[in-house]
Structure 1
Amino acid sequence: MKFKLSLSSVCAAAVVAGVALAAPAAHAGVQAKTKYPIVLVHGFIGFDNILGAVNYFYDVPGTLRNEGATVYVASVNPSQTTEFRGEELIQQMKQWAAKDGVTKFNLIGHSHGGPTVRYAAGTVPTMVASVSTVAGTHFGSKVADVIGANTTPGGGFDQAATAGLKLISWLTGNKTTSNTDLLTALGALSSEGAAKFNAKFPAGAPTTTCGVGPDKATIAGNSIRFYSFSGTSVKTNGWDVSDAILAETAKYFGSEPNDGLVGRCASHWGKVIKDNYTWNHLDEINQVLGTIGSSSPDPVAFYVQHANRLKWAFL
């Protein structure tokens, strides 16, 4: 069935996405020298790095550091609930804070990393200066809805996909590999799962359907900035192996603008800076191998630009 091909292919693409090493910095700058460190948080089927060398956010951490930023890259389970991943993130934030004397963080999450960073903000708001989400699955994904509804628990596809996800987790050195589970993650990424999560963590929510939310929200007396971004293109580069895969998953959205895995409106949270970049879901993290569309904006430059936005926001 088509949905089976789509998810297994996406799993494969996620692994392929990590085969290149981040390029060394060319010069030192200050564009991304933020007051508070930046934390990058990956999404579903994602990783911090593979075998300590291959970055999920391809060429992003090194470039940000080269432009003056202090950057941490979180390692959370690639296939679990938002709350589970969020607790992992919080523990790492506490460790970084204790080790380096950090008081607050600028959290940036891609895909399922979007709700994950919102969980952290809602749980330890004193540690969060800002929440930025790139194609965040705030209102779920139609791909998760369809695949979850058509996957038999304990069936061949479920077991094979979960095994693949556990391999990704193991390669990253994540300490919760045994907890990796396909259907658990799909439940969190579904429209229903997202709605339940949003009821518990509403800060920054859009005030109208497909609208925008506040650029600042107060949680337990702490003011936190919220930003969101997303793409609405699917086939952007004929040399990119992931484009054909995302073209298949994009069909689940019908006529709704999407990036292949997340709908445009579903990505809205807080201040929507831009929701129609000519990127697909992997272009947003400069994958696969940086092969984005020739006329598309540079994703790495985008992260530097946003870091500069955060720099000026907290002067």
Structure 2
Amino acid sequence: MTQETATRYPLVMVPGMLGFVRLVLYPYWFGIVKRLRQGGAKVFPVMVSPVNSTEVRGEQLLLLIEQILRETGAAKVNLIGHSQGALTGRYAAAKRPDLVASVTSVAGPNHGSELADHLERHYAKDSLKGRAVDMIVRVIAKLMVLLETGYRGPRLPVDLDASHQSLTTQGVALFNRSYPQGLPDTWGGQGAELVNGVRYYSWSGILQPGRTDRGFNRIDGSSRSCRLFARSFTREVGQCDGMVGRFSSHLGTVIGDDYPLDHFDIVNQSLGLVGKGADPVRLFVEHAARLKAAGL
């Protein structure tokens, strides 16, 4: 076994909204956890409320971090969060920087999601369309609970409205006032890499015609969804992954913000069906090596 990804501190993988550890045999971090472990890393994919506020998810994550530290004897963890998982990791690090060595945002809506704003405007919760969306999400969440085989903890609370508000531009702006660590001072810039002893990193992708709509994405329904969702963007039109804008994703040191990856491709979904020439697993391997080189 090689030791290229053998970081000093365990890697804790935090999923986004409607995230999971494993549905029957299917992992959220498809092919990623396995590859990181092959390189010598200690990796812990965790489960927090799939539909809830960032703060609720963050408190759940803190309990999981403490459990992992007890089990491993490590002093800290490296948090890697996808989508809302990035905000969840930011909350945990802000509350307990003594337990966190680094936070890495992967396609995190660190300044909010224009898709969430669009849904708020056009699918109000008291409207017929809004109630229909609410019902669909609740059904999906309940189905996921039934199929989840990688989590065996207590039942996790669900709050769809809190989850949605946590992802809007306004909701994230409120969150950022309390937890600004790693945020850029200017739109599209980079943030401080080191804050309160915690290192902050980010990377994200954008839809690129001729690449993200080619390869195996031609048969991947999640890719089609991202191309549809991208139509709701106005501020970062043409510069988003379908759910999160390029500059909205910035946090700490920006490793890259224009990889040819949609919002699901970036975690090797679905089933590793990604666009032409894309290799999202490599980004995680390279980052683990980066953390290792930094003594993390």
**Structure 1 residues 231-240 or 66-75, which shifts more?**
231-240
Distance 1:300 1:120 in 2: 25
SS of aligned partner of 1:290: coil
Q: Which amino acid aligns with 1:162?
A: R
Equivalence for 2:220: 240
Share of identical aligned residues, percent? 38
Is 1:105 aligned to residue 77 of structure 2? yes
Unaligned runs of 5+ in 2: none
TM-aligned CA deviation for residue 277 of structure 1: 0.2
Q: Which residue of 2 aligns with 1:229?
A: 203
C-alpha RMSD of the superposition:
1.7
What's the counterpart of residue 48 of structure 1? 21
Please state how far the C-alpha of 1:159 moved relative to its aligned partner. 2.4
SS in 2 for 1:308: helix
Aligned CA distance change for structure 1 residues 240 and 156 (closer, same or farther; 3 Å): closer
Give the whole-Å Cα distance in 2 for the aligned partners of 1:158 and 1:291: 28
C-alpha displacement at 1:206, in angstroms? 0.3
How far off is 1:271 after superposition?
0.7
* CA shift for structure 1 position 168: 1.7
* Cα distance in structure 2, aligned partners of 1:215 and 1:169: 36
Question: Aligned residue for 1:17?
Answer: none
Task: Tell me which of 253, 256, 269 is aligned to 1:274.
Answer: 256
Contact 1:166 1:180 in 2 (8 A): no
What is the CA distance between 1:175 and its match in structure 2? Answer: 4.8
Q: Distance in 2 between matches of 1:32 and 1:49?
A: 22
Q: How far 1:239 moved relative to its partner? A: 1.8
The CA deviation at 1:170 is: 4.0
Q: Which moved more, 1:148-157 or 1:136-145?
A: 148-157
Correspondences of 1:27-106 after superposition (within 5 Å):
28-51=1-24, 53-106=25-78
For residues 253 and 145 of structure 1, what CA distance do their matches in structure 2 show?
A: 9
Select which of 124, 132, 136 maps to 1:151. Answer: 124
Q: Does the CA-based 8 Å contact 2:55-2:91 persist in structure 1?
A: yes
Tell me: CA distance 1:60–1:260, structure 2 relative to 1, closer, same or farther (3 Å).
same
Q: How much has 1:155 moved relative to structure 2?
A: 2.5
Are 1:312 and 2:286 matched, yes or no?
Answer: no
The answer for the alignment partner of 1:249 in structure 2 is: 229
Which of 121, 140, 145 is 1:169 aligned to? 145
Shift of 1:152: 2.3
Name the CA distance, whole Å, in 1 between partners of 2:183 and 2:112: 14
Amino acid paired to 1:45: L
2:231 maps to 1:258 = no
The 2-side partners of 1:43 and 1:74 are apart by 11
Instruction: Give the match for residue 291 of structure 1.
Output: 273
Give the 3 Å change call, closer, same or farther, for CA 170–192 of structure 1 in structure 2.
farther
Q: What is the aligned residue count?
A: 282
SS in 1 for 2:144: helix
Q: Deviations over 1:125-146 (max 9, x none)?
A: 1110011010001111111111
CA contact (8 A) 1:151 1:158 kept: no
Whether contact under 8 Å (1:34, 1:308) holds in the other structure is yes
Q: What letter corresponds to residue 82 of structure 1 in structure 2? A: T
Deviations 1:144-194 (A, max 9, x none): 111133232483331232222232234324756562232221110011110
Gaps of 5+ in 1: 1-27
Structure 1 residue ranges, 4+ long, deviating more than 6 angstroms after superposition: none
